[in-house]
Amino acid sequence: MSGERRPEPASRGERMADWADGRLGIYALGRQYLRKVFPDHWSFLLGEICLYSFVVLILTGVYLTLFFHPSMNEVTYHGSYVPLNGVRMSEAYASTLHISFDVRGGLLVRQLHHWAALVFVAAMVTHMMRHFFTGSFRKPREVNWVFGWTLLLLGLFEGLFGYSLPDDLLSGTGLRFVNGAVLSVPIVGTYLSMFLLGGEFPGHDIVARFYSLHILLIPGIMTALVVVHILLVVYHKHTQFAGPGRTERNVVGAPFMPVYLAKAGGFFFLVFGFLTLIAGVATINPIWQYGPFRADQVSTGAQPDWYLGFAEGLVRIMPGWEITLWGHTLVLGVLIPIVVFPLLLVFIGVYPFVEAWLTGDGKEHHILDRPRNRPVRTAIGASWISAYLILLAGGGNDIVATRLHLSINAVTWTIRIAVFVVPAVVLVVTRRICLGLQLRDRELVAHGRETGIIKRLPHGEYVEMHKPLTQAELHTLTAHERPGELVERER
Question: What number of other Cβ atoms are within 10 A of residue 465's Cβ?
Answer: 12
**Residue 23 region, left (φ>0) first, then alpha (ψ -120 to 50), else beta?**
alpha
What pLDDT score was predicted for residue 32? 64
Shortest CA distance to 285 belongs to which of 163, 454, 436, 105?
A: 163
Q: What predicted TM-score, i.e. pTM, was given to this entire model? A: 0.88
- Angstrom distance (rounded) from CA 72 to CA 204: 6
What pLDDT score was predicted for residue 2? 52
Domains of the chain with CATH codes = 32-367 (1.20.810.10), 370-491 (no CATH)
Q: Identify residue 336 by its one-letter amino acid code.
A: I
Question: What number of other Cβ atoms are within 10 A of residue 168's Cβ?
Answer: 27
Q: Are 421 and 440 in contact (CB under 8 A)?
A: no
pLDDT in tens, the chain (491 residues): 455 666 667 677 667 767 776 766 666 666 666 677 888 888 889 999 999 999 999 999 999 999 999 999 999 999 899 999 999 999 999 999 999 999 999 999 999 999 999 999 999 999 999 999 999 999 999 999 999 999 999 999 999 999 899 999 988 888 888 888 888 888 888 888 888 888 888 878 889 999 999 999 999 999 999 999 999 988 888 888 888 888 888 888 788 777 888 888 999 999 999 999 999 999 999 999 999 988 887 776 778 888 888 888 999 999 988 888 877 778 888 889 988 989 999 999 999 999 999 988 888 898 899 999 999 999 999 999 999 999 999 988 888 899 899 999 999 999 999 999 999 999 999 999 999 999 998 988 888 888 888 888 888 888 888 888 888 888 788 877 765 544 444 44
Q: Are 127 and 50 in contact (CB under 8 A)?
A: yes
Q: Are 405 and 277 in contact (CB under 8 A)?
A: no
Shortest CA distance to 307 belongs to which of 168, 416, 212, 174?
A: 174
- Angstrom distance (rounded) from CA 377 to CA 371: 8
What pLDDT score was predicted for residue 362? 84
What pLDDT score was predicted for residue 10? 67
The sign one gets for the Cα dihedral 326, 330, 336, 338 is: negative
